[in-house]
């Protein structure tokens, strides 16, 4: 949609073109409400497609050349000292100013004397401040807050871990987050375009961010596909992983329900069979049962039925069509939510960003009422102050901050680039950082209350059942809900929560990729739905490789490798870039 923009009285330095002393590169800054739009006339040079193609109407003003006290007239047409402003379309045109052969000229546009008309589709903005704030919150508060932070807290000194985590948040995470938010908001460009415009020497930074986001986008949606699979599997009266089913279980599958029934009959449960006291004594079953390998049904269900894991990465096996179908559903959901860009995703996040908090509150009140919950919570919170002297603890805190706030991925720059120019991104970064650490801490209370209950049920120590990552979400928690009344309800609630947490992060990852494409080819903005569809098809086809029999190992390996490489390289280059700018100045 074309848009008329009124100019304000502005002064701008004009430097002569290297190829001609009378041709000047002109930067006109036009103010549109609370945003500055850069309109550049670049003579004798290939058009920069990442910038706005504009058409200038008749303009008047004055020009002051070096060593010339007299102000020259700048009008729509004229001769001699008058300088014409030609009609400009998609091809930049030179502006010749008589009498300005060298040095720097100052141009002052008369107020209300000029209008410019945008000839390319608008980039778009968030329709409301809370659209951006909730999208940013959803992007920052993700799966890692639920399944990674609680384990790190337990493994690194309990409550004492909050000290290095908070310090790393203040000195590293929050400054980087604010820098990227202000960076994107000021320029209204994605990672690739912004670095090419701001510092061409480091344009590879933006490209690297987009490439990493594109790769992560492929396997992150697979985790969403797992949650969809479990969500559908939960819609039945008895959860499928409640018992050791012959279809997917091995002899090492240990059903605690069957074991309790066997012990009640004065027998011994061993290798999925119940032996009476006579047979157990005759074959020394009791001794063997004490040292036998035991896997809970939820673990074998996830590894053998859902994933169908192979013996190694060299045996990829075939595509699991059930996972491929769930992956397709995940990509369809993402496409429908992003087909109109931030205008559509900004409305969806009101549910996807807030629903997890509702579920966490429900699970918290249910968890703390379970037997053994207090043991798990104390295990989670009891501080071990000696751990603060361990460098590994501080390293884990720093890594978790970058997992949580997601700087150097490109998502922060992308989301903030759709903000209004005057938005208070500093306040937004403080709100999101505080919500992130509060959510992580609260999620730990929920998870460890449930883990404490499981340890109580199994009559083992808490550290025997604690886990992180996919093991916590798809093995430990599913095992817990089988022991609760109306277990399908709790299972559906949990996996819908994981689904919404994953979708928020996926929205930002995919928006980073599509924004990079649209900033590079702005004429495609009017076909944004088709661009999103193309990226979605690419993502689905690329993600099919993760639905084979090595999916879990591939995702874990890909996640750790990409994360470490991306963070180290991008953050070091950012620091070097800032140092170089400071040194040059």
What CA–CA distance (Å, rounded) separates 212 from 571?
14
Is 145 known as a binding-site position?
yes
Q: Which residues pair with 56 in a beta bridge?
A: 116
Count of residues for the chain?
585
Residue 406 backbone zone (phi > 0: left; psi -120 to 50: alpha; other: beta): left
CA 103 to chain centre: 47
Has 465 been labeled as part of a binding site? no
Sequence-ordered alpha helix ranges (H) in 470-524: 470-471, 477-481, 487-520
Contact 84, 55 (CB under 8 A): no
The residues pairing with 269 across neighbouring beta strands, listed in sequence order, are 274
3-class DSSP state for residue 39?
strand
CA dihedral of 515, 517, 523, 524, whole degrees rounded to 10: -90
Euclidean distance between CA atoms 320 and 328, whole angstroms: 12
Q: What are the phi and psi torsion angles at 274 (to 5°)?
A: -105, 120
Any known ligand binding at 190? no
Backbone angles phi, psi at 4, to 5 degrees: -85, 135
Residue whose entry in the numeric block shows the structure tokens 């020394």: 284
- Residue 436, marked binder: yes
Q: How far apart are the first and last CA of the chain?
A: 41
Residues 6+ apart with CB under 8 A from 547: 222, 225, 319, 320, 323, 324, 327
Strand ranges inside 42-103, DSSP E: 54-56, 61-64, 71-74, 95-96
Cα dihedral 157→163→165→168 (10° resolution): -140
**295 token code pair:** 């896997």
DSSP for 132-176 reads HHHHHHHHHS-HHHHHTHHHHHHHTTGGGGHHHHHHHIIIIIHHH
**How far does CA 440 lie from the centroid of its chain?**
16
CA distances to 137, 147, 223, 521, 524 from 349, in Å? 9, 21, 19, 27, 25
The count of other CB atoms within 10 Å of the CB of residue 487 is 18
User: Residue 408: left (phi > 0), alpha (psi -120 to 50), or beta?
Assistant: left
138 annotated ligand binder: yes
Which residues sit in the known binding site for Na(+)? 138, 141, 145, 436, 501, 504-505
Which residues sit in the known binding site? 138, 141, 145, 436, 501, 504-505
């Amino acid at each position: 949609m074309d848009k008329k923009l009124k100019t304000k009285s502005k002064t701008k330095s004009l430097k002569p073109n290297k190829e001609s002393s009378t041709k000047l590169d002109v930067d006109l800054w036009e103010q549109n409400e609370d945003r500055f739009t850069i309109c550049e006339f670049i003579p004798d040079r290939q058009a920069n497609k990442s910038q706005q193609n504009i058409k200038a109407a008749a303009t008047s003003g004055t020009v002051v050349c070096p060593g010339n006290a007299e102000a020259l007239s700048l009008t729509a047409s004229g001769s001699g000292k008058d300088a014409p402003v030609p009609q400009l379309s998609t091809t930049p045109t030179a502006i010749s100013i008589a009498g300005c052969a060298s040095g720097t000229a100052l141009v002052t546009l008369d107020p209300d004397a000029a209008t410019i008309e945008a000839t390319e589709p608008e980039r778009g903005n968030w329709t409301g401040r809370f659209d951006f704030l909730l999208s940013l919150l959803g992007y920052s508060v993700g799966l890692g807050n639920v399944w990674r932070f609680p384990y790190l807290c337990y493994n690194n000194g309990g409550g004492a871990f909050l000290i290095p985590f908070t310090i790393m948040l203040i000195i590293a995470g929050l400054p980087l987050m604010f820098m990227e938010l202000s960076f994107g908001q000021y320029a209204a460009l994605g990672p690739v375009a912004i670095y090419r415009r701001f510092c061409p020497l480091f344009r590879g930074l933006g490209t690297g961010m987009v490439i990493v986001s594109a790769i992560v986008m492929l396997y992150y949606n697979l985790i969403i596909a797992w949650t969809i699979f479990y969500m559908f599997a939960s819609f039945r009266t008895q959860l499928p992983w409640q018992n050791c089913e012959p279809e997917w279980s091995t002899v090492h599958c240990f059903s605690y329900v069957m074991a309790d029934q066997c012990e009640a009959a004065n027998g011994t449960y061993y290798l999925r069979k119940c032996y009476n006291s006579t047979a157990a004594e005759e074959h020394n079953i009791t001794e063997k049962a004490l040292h036998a390998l035991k896997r809970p049904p939820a673990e074998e269900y996830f590894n053998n039925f859902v994933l169908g894991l192979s013996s190694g990465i060299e045996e990829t096996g075939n595509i699991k069509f059930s996972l491929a179908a769930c992956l397709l559903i995940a990509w369809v959901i993402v496409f429908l939510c992003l087909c109109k860009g931030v205008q559509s995703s900004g409305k969806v996040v009101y549910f996807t960003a807030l629903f997890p908090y509702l579920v966490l509150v429900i699970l918290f009140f249910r968890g703390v009422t379970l037997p053994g919950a207090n043991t798990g919570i104390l295990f989670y919170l009891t501080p071990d102050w000696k751990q603060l002297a361990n460098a590994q603890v501080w390293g884990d805190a720093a890594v978790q901050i970058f997992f949580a706030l997601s700087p150097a991925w490109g998502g922060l720059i992308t989301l903030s680039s759709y903000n209004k120019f005057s938005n208070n991104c500093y306040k937004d970064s403080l709100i999101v950082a505080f919500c992130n650490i509060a959510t992580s801490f609260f999620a730990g209370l929920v998870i460890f209350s449930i883990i404490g209950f499981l340890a109580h049920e199994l009559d083992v120590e808490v550290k025997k059942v604690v886990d992180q990552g996919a093991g916590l979400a798809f093995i430990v928690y599913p095992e817990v809900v089988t022991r609760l009344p109306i277990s399908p309800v709790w299972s559906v609630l949990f996996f819908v929560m994981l689904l919404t947490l994953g979708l928020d992060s996926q929205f930002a990852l995919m928006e980073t990729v599509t924004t990079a494409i649209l900033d590079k080819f702005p004429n495609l903005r009017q076909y944004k739905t088709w661009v999103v569809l193309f990226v979605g098809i690419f993502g689905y086809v690329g993600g099919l490789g993760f639905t084979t029999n090595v999916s879990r190992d591939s995702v874990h390996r890909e996640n750790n490798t990409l994360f470490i490489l991306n963070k180290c390289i991008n953050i070091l280059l950012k620091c070097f870039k800032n140092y170089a700018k400071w040194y040059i100045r």
